Amino acid sequence: MADTVVIGSLLYSHVIPIILAFVGVILLCSGIMDRKRNFTIAGIVLFFAAGTLPFLILPLVIGT
């Protein structure tokens, strides 16, 4: 049980936010350079989601 909590907490605190932030920055840059508003908005949403989701998901995974 403790191994799954450690793996889950590492996944949600270190792996997924970095991937979301990277994809968000790529979409943001692509949307601004190509003047595509949908890509820009999606990049902003993904970047902010990368910063806020660990604070929402980790308490559920850890159980506090």
Q: What is the pLDDT of residues 6-62, one digit of tens each?
A: 777 788 888 999 999 999 999 999 999 999 999 999 999 999 999 999 898 888 877
Q: Are 24 and 50 in contact (CB under 8 A)?
A: yes
Count of structural domains within the chain: 1
pLDDT of amino acid 13: 84
Beta strands in 10-57 (DSSP E): none
Q: Are 24 and 44 in contact (CB under 8 A)?
A: yes
Q: Would the pLDDT of 3 be above 80?
A: no
List the domain range (segments joined by +) for residue 28.
Answer: 2-62
Biggest CA-to-CA distance, the chain: 48
